[in-house]
Amino acid sequence: MSDDEPDLELLSLLRKSLGLGPPDPSAPPETKVLQDAEFIYNNSIDVALDMRGTKNAAIAIWDQMQQREYSAKTWSDHELHPKSKDESAVNFIFTMDLLNFCFWSEKGREESFAIEWKGKRWTGYWSLVAALQRALDENIPITTPTFWSNEEECTEDLLRTVFRSATSEEIPLFSDRLACLREAGQILDEEFDGSVVALIEDAEHSAAGLVNLLAEHFPCFRDEHMFEGRKVRILKRAQIFVADLWAALEGEGWGEFGDIEKITMFADYRIPQILYSLGCLTYSPPLESRIRHLIPLESGHSWEVQLRGCSIWTIELIRREIIRLHPTATVNAILIDFFLYDFMKEVERDGEESIPHHRVRSVWY
């Protein structure tokens, strides 16, 4: 090789080290959610992370998780979640997370959308799960993917029956939920033989791989946004589908993932709210004023991206602190998220919220 000829092998190594080359097809899948969350945190000016508050929260969260014997099994213990570990449970979980977004209401608690089933009234996320269980009781195959794309059987009127409310308010973003069902049914039919199980098996027991498959093939799972000139991935519903599978099937069969630790927390309304309450997050005065006055943010707005990205990074730091203090602890971002969500619902029920949750009308969460 002459002095004038480039060293192609060295150039290839340099390009790869800088992330300029094509992806290595043999490399394990990565969602890039955590990396993007760190980028958001490093460039955030309206949401800040308090390190002392985060360390204190890690201690309190771990103590409470130990006292309550909190584990992945807690997920299945809830009366509304499926108890079987077969394909019907997989389809239920996929349907649930396909539609798991936007339940907040501008009305009071007694007037907001709610589902009555088996003598109880359910609101928020639980209203969705109750509606699905009620539909199955009424012999409506609401969790069957081939049903969603059959417009003669799965009509708009029938879906309004599925989600009929105990109040005068209908489920928020009804037309968007209908569109998600239609789209997912068509994609599953065309690309995965109409089977959620086939989709899962294509991921070959990789949590990150399944998240990426969902984001690649299903636009309604593609929770990506622009922030400071860069596309960032948050992927709340894609990640929670993997987490729910893992929890429901206790890490076995279709719920077995060799890289479950790559799943981050699920950036929604409630976790930022409780992280603020725990002293982990602080907001700029304009953002805090907007939240306290219940003024909705636009989906994809910088403030919203900062709230979600900084929450993901905060939960990661809490997880690391727990492991630092308790090296033998078995804990991941999924369990911390599940625990904090349940805890926040208790706080809400007792009327002890220190700040409202931020408001966005969005299919992403």
Active site residues: 268
Question: 249: closest CA among 211, 284, 197?
Answer: 197
Question: 103: closest CA among 117, 132, 123?
Answer: 123
Which residue in the block uniquely carries the two structure tokens 């926040």?
344
Angle at 129 between CA 195 and CA 345, to 5 degrees: 135
Residue type, 47: V
Residue 40, SS3 per DSSP? helix
Query: Which tokens hold the place of 356?
Result: 């409202």
Query: Which tokens hold the place of 243?
Result: 């987490």
Q: Using CA of residue 161, residue 91, residue 250, residue 265, what is the dihedral sign?
A: negative
CA distance 49 to 58: 14
Q: Using CA of residue 284, residue 286, residue 292, residue 297, what is the dihedral sign?
A: negative
Angle at 360 between CA 358 and CA 226, to 5 degrees: 105
Sequence-separated (6 or more) residues with CB below 8 Å from residue 19: none
For the purposes of burial, counting CB atoms within 10 Å of the CB of 137, is it exposed (0-12), middle (13-18) or buried (19 or more)?
A: exposed
CA distance 215 to 33: 12
Cβ count within 10 A of residue 173: 17
